[in-house]
Structure 1
């Protein structure tokens, strides 16, 4: 077989090429020919196909994502924003923190363990590539119905993959979510977040500058696992039997990644790199084209020098392979020997595979023959941009008219008690200890708060106590009812969760999980969610630093609920001042902050008791969210409260049960005058929290709330070994704990 070189491609314009099989559309293939002035070689076609995939190019989402830049609030904290491997924010004292969330959804359905494990590995390398030491991970997860056989296949593998990879890396898993819903059947969502810490001067960017500088590939050898990988898998819809195209899911080696991390951090410490990029989606195709595109010149690569695990791989397969634990660095010639020596010390394979040129082309050679000659920007940054048609679905009005507030309600105290137990023992509201106990939450010794706290918190300076808190949230049921409001509620909940621990929210990362962009209804959901999130970030002063879009999340014609997952990072000056969620002191007063309204649309109660989804989600008041956060932060800093817990899924009763069980203390509650006991317990009105206040601080705390205009209602006292809603029912902590903690072991244990 003749090698498909650039010259051969020029001489044979009419050769049939498998552009459709590689996921390209006819007009995209024609555009590639127009860019090159000829047909592409097989290697060029492979590069364009993975780099122009939905997962890598954002071709359907770019036009909507621009709002995050156009509406971005002014922020003194932002150091690196959208467009790099991860965003970076200033947290004070010369420290910078980088964080990002990404998806590994489809690979995790095909191969749960490796799909989830390599999702962790990939996001950790994104953080590493910014110059930071990774310090923690989180995992927002969505699965199908908890009792479905396929959930029993997928969930244990995903959890084992996350735990296995993260634990072996020595990174604490400090938070996340686990949600069950039939809409995720056949299409689970496995999102992964990583946080990294560095000094300001240590920030690194992905660019190849300096003619004559060397391109060094280091880390694991390149294999046949993951050819096309996530770049192909994440860019098509599953049918009832899985994806039509089945590229091999990447195989992870956390011990190799740990060596890669330490090696890279030592290379950074000695200032040996000009630019750096991890190899994730699209592998070498991505790393070479993005580094060259963001740099000041071109690049020449000798592809046959790439270390391989499989000597039979073709050039196209090497370029498309998404084998894990690999990085690409740009190094000045006089620093190459030292770079290679450090790699050898850490037992990391490192090979000079090319150099930066003074031209404007990415040129790749195979045994002396030129197989790629392309303008790198056309591969990496100038792919297709689609203005997909979108329209509000015809069923949206009927869904919103099916008001959850009209569902049958409990008739008295006994029925209220029964429904409380049913709610807290349902898979979504039950304790997730069966999952989180498989993760190491305290390795490295800097974890201050971890699951099930409102947000994870990490200490980053031992002397001053400086720390950061991170929370992720997203409610697909709310977003199905109203994607604009649903996205804002996801941000509001994450923002509130961070503030509840005493940290000041600074910045946002998001993972936008939606159905097929070729469906106008799913595209409308995406457009509305982006608009809602951008508007809310602007109002709360929390810029989006980066994130991920995951489309084609559907099986056949059935899409998942639109699921924007929003991560918020906040800073706390001294982690010793953090506020936990546990009620731990008898006699403290329980205060409800915020307004409770009759808002049950999309609620946990409507799902658990009635298997119902309809109506409108809770209303959003972003100014109230900001005020609530300011009160929670000030009360934490000044020692006015001992515990705080945000109110969200399951309403007040869910938060109360969690705070009581965590602290091993009961509570006596009084329903406020004029409020229906059922609404008091189960409403999911936003902008609310419960706090426990020492009696000595009550006057100071209520004066502060009153002066700032935040409703603060005394609803009870921490007391005894039961939750007693006076005049309605009492239920012991022992009975609540049994219901709360038995659900997941019964399903999966």
Structure 2
């Protein structure tokens, strides 16, 4: 670890002396890109983060949003959810199991620090091409780490996504979101309250793991990262985390916590200094009081180690003894390490002062970067001429569009008995019985989209997540984002990153879904090059009740299958940019046009999904209409559909079947007139045909026909499971 010369000059000017080694390391970590957002913060004002439902927006460990409670609930009885998301990208490359596992642990503790109980996880994962052995090694390790940690702590992983793209080969992404449950009475923040209150460290003992993790996450991965950077990766203990979850619940119920902060990036130094800085206060900490698991630890190691399963609590002096009793009951370490003060943030070690700085300067003094940004080039149109049957078989069996059952069957998604709709559908639904609401959760991005068109692709990512929750009958409430990019010092990379920020911000504002928190991960560069700009969005929506129409068709010949929202079928301007079809058959094109009024479209989809005449719904996205139709077919319910092909469509039937314009949904209904009335003036509605009872699928697209059956499709879509079984 080393403090940059320009930053050292600012520190020396502020302190009027040279920093101590511990201070220099603390500034180096807290002023890193990972903690200070030096390259991204100037862009983040584009997001709308306010709304009547927003209780606490960006800046705390997690955001807090009020649910539309039952009609008889008073204002002080409102149910709140917390939302947070974080990345553990570099650690997951160096050590996929521990890197991913500790990512889960960290976002769960962010939830605990708000006085909330975690009720759901969503993981969005991005790897190099599936046919590469190293990608499969990382993939298997990451999934095992997430499943092990989440299953052990008893928090269900209910949603997420998996994408494969060649540019993640040297730098995979692991983005994990968590939703928690709380209310006004339980709510805690990371704002220190009063001088004289004690700072109490509860949880695992501190070791030497994770040293310099924040600075490690703020630089490009080198060729030797898997061996040289191993000490920067934390090691998780989910059983200790489970004890911490339950102990935290008792602390909150007994009103023993004044403020709290999870020990994540920059360890104790980061958590404690940020806690008091937010309250405009200081602290005095005696580092030798920290309970340790390794001998002869130095002040710097105690201060910056990112050992897991630790929380820093502000506790009134009269409550310290009770906190110690609760920690002992749950077999957790507990140290009274210092107290909140009026002024500076100071740390001593065996009687010697090793840190004496202004907490606000430490937390907010990092200068922002003013970086050049180049606009990305627009792709030219170069459409492949693939055989339609071959294209259908290839796209349906692509790892990107294939079933992700191999992943989510390893997760316990039913623990906690709240999961009404689990993984594998457009969105998960978790029952929040306290408010009589179903909470729909969708999480993911689309690297093919944002690689070809960062701004439009990011708008499409936001619309896609909103359509996922709408297809299950929910309307968007709020979102958190994880903005992943490469080295921002490269103008073309920073231009792409700026595009995804603006695109995500614009569409979320259009949809009325405030972005209430998030995470930024830059320097995702390696010897193989930068990652695609990747704007993971975790979006939640609400609905009355917990039921939702299924994705799979019902074998009802009296019903009709309708396609809603396909702009290209209406005007003939069908574009394949960002599609799996072009990725598999080596072509290029502009990104599709999105619907004119996406907010009205999302509201209408949510309304019709909850109508009694609706038998099944499925969002159309990755792989296009062909894949979505194939996913709806079962052994009991087949399809005979006919799709018009506009004469002006350059790609012909392939364009109609494989373009990936978001904002489309398939609806199986017994009342087609009601659907058309709902979408009148909002989006085009096209009748495709009727379900059958033979488990076969026949798709007529213009003059060409594709035939297949449910069993063959299931086998093709099991490519990941077959390869990794």
Using the size of structure 1 for normalisation, the TM-score is 0.91
Q: 544, 568, 584: which is aligned to 1:573?
A: 544
Q: How far does the alpha carbon of each residue in 1:425-464 deviate from its partner, in whole angstroms, 9 at most, with x for none?
A: 11111111111111111111110112211111100106x6
The aligned counterpart of 2:81 is: 97
Q: How far 1:585 moved relative to its partner?
A: 3.4
SS in 1 for 2:225: coil
Match in the other structure for 2:55: 79
Aligned counterparts of 2:31 and 2:177: Cα–Cα separation in 1: 24
CA distance in 2, matches of 1:683, 1:77: 36
Q: Could you tell me whether the CA contact under 8 Å between 2:4 and 2:28 is conserved in 1?
A: no
- Residues 23 and 561 of structure 1: CA distance in aligned 2, closer, same or farther (over 3 Å): farther
Distance (whole Å) between structure 1 residues aligned to residue 679 and residue 594 of structure 2 = 20
Q: Is the 2:115–2:252 Cα contact (8 Å) retained in structure 1? A: yes
1:691-743 per-residue CA deviation (whole Å, 9 max, x = no partner) reads 1102xx3332222222x4321111011212111124613111111111111x1
Counterpart of 1:63 in structure 2 is: 42
* Structure 2: distance between partners of 1:314 and 1:250: 18
Give SS of 1:140's match. Answer: strand
Asked if 1:445 is matched to 2:424, the reply is no
Report deviation, 1:467.
1.8
> 1:738 aligned to 2:715?
yes
CA contact (8 A) 1:233 1:246 kept: no
Q: Are residues 1:542 and 2:542 paired?
A: no
Matches within 5 A, 1:386-401: 386-392=369-375, 396-397=377-378, 400-401=379-380
For residue 734 of structure 1, give the secondary structure of its aligned residue in structure 2. Answer: helix
Q: Could you tell me how far apart the structure 2 residues matched to 1:377 and 1:659 are? A: 55
Count residues with an aligned counterpart: 702
Q: Which residue of 1 aligns with 2:593?
A: 619
Q: How much does 1:23 deviate?
A: 4.4
Partner of 2:255: 271
1:407 maps to which of 378, 384, 400: 384
TM-superposed CA distance for 1:409, in Å, is 4.0
For residues 340-379 of structure 1, the aligned pairs below 5 Å read: 340-358=324-342, 360-379=343-362
Name the residue aligned to 1:204. Answer: 188
Instruction: Find the counterpart in structure 1 of residue 677 from structure 2.
Output: 703
Aligned pair partner of 2:498 in 527, 537, 558: 527
Q: Which residue in the other structure is 2:605 paired with?
A: 632
Tell me by how many angstroms 1:422 deviates: 1.4
Please name the residue that 1:11 is paired with.
none
Q: Determine the structure 2 residue equivalent to 1:728.
A: 705
Offset at 1:487? 1.2
Q: Match for 2:685 among 712, 723, 726? A: 712
| Structure 2 counterpart of 1:591 | 562
Alignment check: 8 A CA contact 1:147 1:747 kept: no
In 2, the alpha carbon distance for the partners of 1:218 and 1:547 equals 26
What secondary structure does 1:344 align onto?
helix
1:13-52 to structure 2, matched below 5 A, reads 22-52=1-31
* CA displacement at 1:673 relative to structure 2: 6.4
For residues 326-337 of structure 1, what are the structure 2 equivalents within 5 Å? 326-337=310-321
Judge conservation of contact 2:82–2:180 (CA < 8 Å) in 1: yes
- What is residue 427 of structure 1 aligned with on the other side? 399
Tell me the residue number matched to 2:427: 455
Aligned equivalent of 1:680, options 656, 681, 684: 656
1:242 offset after TM fit, Å?
A: 2.6
* Structure 2 CA distance for aligned equivalents of residues 384 and 345 of structure 1: 45
Q: Distance in 1 between matches of 2:156 and 2:678?
A: 36
Give the 5 Å matches for 1:4-15.
Answer: none
Q: Distance in 2 between matches of 1:709 and 1:344?
A: 60
Q: Secondary structure at the match of 2:255?
A: coil
Of the structure 1 ranges 179-188 and 554-563, higher mean CA displacement relative to structure 2 is found in: 554-563
1:249-276: CA deviation from partner (whole Å, max 9, x where unpaired)? 1010001000001101110111111100
Unpaired runs of at least 5, structure 2:
70-77, 569-573
Asked whether the equivalents of residues 285 and 337 of structure 2 are also in contact (C-alpha less than 8 Å), the reply is yes
* Residue 378 of structure 1: how far off its partner (Å): 1.2
**Aligned mates of 1:334, 1:479 — CA distance in 2:** 54
- Cα–Cα, structure 1 residues 673 and 156, in superposed 2: closer, same or farther, change >3 Å? closer
Whole-angstrom distance in 2 between the partners of 1:23 and 1:450: 46
State the Cα deviation string for residues 528-577 of structure 1 (Å, max 9, x = none): 2212222222222111111111111111371111111111111112113x
Match of 2:301 among 317, 325, 330: 317
Give, in whole Å, the separation in 1 of the partners of 2:446 and 2:255: 43
Secondary structure of the 1:27 match is helix
Structure 1 residues 674, 61: closer, same or farther in 2, change over 3 A? Answer: closer
Instruction: State the Cα distance separating 1:77 from its structure 2 match.
Output: 0.8
Shift of 1:666: 1.1
In structure 1, C-alpha distance between the alignment counterparts of 2:407 and 2:581, rounded to whole Å: 23
Distance change (3 Å), C-alpha of 1:300 and 1:249: same
Deviation at 1:686, TM superposition (A): 2.3
Of 214, 218, 229 in structure 2, the residue corresponding to residue 235 of structure 1 is 218
Q: Say if 2:526 is the partner of 1:555.
A: yes
Report the Cα distance in structure 1 between the residues aligned to 2:682 and 2:440, rounded to whole angstroms: 26
Separation of aligned partners in 2, 1:245 and 1:179? 25
